[in-house]
Structure 1
Amino acid sequence: MKKCELCNSLAKMYCESDQAILCWDCDSRVHGANFLVAKHSRTLLCHLCQSPTPWNGSGPKLGPTVSVCENCVSRNACTEENDDDEGDDEDDDDEEDDSSEDDGGDSSGDEENQVVPWTSGPPVSSSSTSEECSTRFGKENGSQSRTVHPLKRMRETEDPFSP
């Protein structure tokens, strides 16, 4: 197994700009040092064999993430396929149904390579061009109006009702 070049812990990340293999802690220390090195693109190493994976990112601190390279995904798919062949014939019919739903694209095990962040990003800004939207709801005796404000932070000194 590959070791971090700074602390000899298990390596998790490869920085091509620095040509360094680093663990999560050393990566955050090195790439959090200043904004220029934070821009370095880093590649996550495979959780199983420590080969580079398709996952990459940049920034001062990348959160711990697990990814698997395409070779390990293929090997795992082959192993699962062989395990399924040892079962009864009813499972084989299900496999044929699953393969017929394939869109024909080269998925290469992308389902297993998806990365989900631990924290959510900044709120999505409203696509509305006006400061407020009005929505009307029908009622038997007329209509009711409700004002909805977009997800926009206002400055404390700014008067929200001034034109």
Structure 2
Amino acid sequence: MKKCELCDSLAKMYCESDQAILCWDCDSRVHGANFLVAKHLRTLLCHLCQSPTPWNGSGTKLGPTVSVCENCVDQNDSREEMNYEETHDDDVDDGEEEGSEDDDDGDSGDDEENQVVPLSSTAPPVSSSSTSEECSAGFATRR
């Protein structure tokens, strides 16, 4: 595993401008020093293999974020596909026998837990910084 070049903690990102791999704390200290170094573009390292990921950002303090490189995503997709095929190959013949006994169109007693809530037809009021004259224009006054 790659270590932070300043404190030997686990490295989380790479700064190309500084050519340094850093942990979250050291990155915050280095790139919070002034506005020029805060503009450095940093690349997050994969939390599995510590290779660079497509994620990048800049600023004085980047919050802890988890990202995965494309190779690890591809490997995980391949594993999931293989596991899916292995677990579902045996169930092909058994599925018809088990499902044919009750004809309830696939509905189960889980409807109580899954409720659909419609969106409100009226939008919530928009808060803005406007003058009181503009705000009162839409209201009728009592006399």
Q: What TM-score results when the alignment is normalised by the length of structure 2?
A: 0.65
| 1:96 matched residue in structure 2 | none
Question: Is 2:20 aligned against 1:20?
Answer: yes
Question: How far apart are residue 149 of structure 1 and its match?
Answer: 6.1
What SS class does the counterpart of residue 59 from structure 1 fall into?
A: coil
Larger % of strand: which?
Answer: 1
Matched residue type, 1:52 = P
Give the corresponding residue for 2:50: 50
CA displacement at 1:10 relative to structure 2: 0.1
Taking only the aligned residue pairs, the percentage that are identical comes to 74
Matched, 1:71 2:71: yes
What residue in structure 2 maps to residue 10 of structure 1?
Answer: 10
- Give the number of equivalent residue pairs: 102
SS of aligned partner of 1:88: helix
Aligned to 1:54, the other structure's residue is in SS state strand
Letter in 1 for 2:70: E
Report the counterpart of residue 62 of structure 1 in structure 2: 62
User: Which amino acid in 2 is paired with 1:24?
Assistant: W
Q: Equivalent residue for 2:85? A: 85
- Please give the alpha-carbon distance, in whole angstroms, between the structure 1 residues aligned to 2:33 and 2:46: 26
Q: Deviations over 1:3-24 (max 9, x none)?
A: 0000000000100000000000
Q: Distance in 2 between matches of 1:16 and 1:149?
A: 42
Larger helix fraction of residues: 2
Show CA shifts across 1:93-143 (max 9, x none): xxxxxxxxxxxxxxxxxxxxxxxxxxxxxxxxxxxxxxxxxxxx9xxxxxx
In structure 2, what is the equivalent of residue 151 of structure 1? 128
The runs of at least 4 consecutive aligned structure 1 residues that moved more than 4 Å come to: none
Structure-1 residue corresponding to 2:34: 34
The whole-number CA distance in structure 1 between the counterparts of 2:128 and 2:49 is: 44
Query: What is the rounded CA distance, in whole Å, between the counterparts of 1:43 and 1:21 in structure 2?
Result: 9
Separation in structure 2 between the aligned mates of residue 53 and residue 7 of structure 1, nearest angstrom: 22
TM-score, normalised via structure 1 length: 0.57
How far apart in 1 are the matches of 2:126 and 2:15?
43
Specify every segment of 5 or more residues in structure 1 that has no aligned partner in the other structure, as ranges. Answer: 92-136, 138-147, 155-159
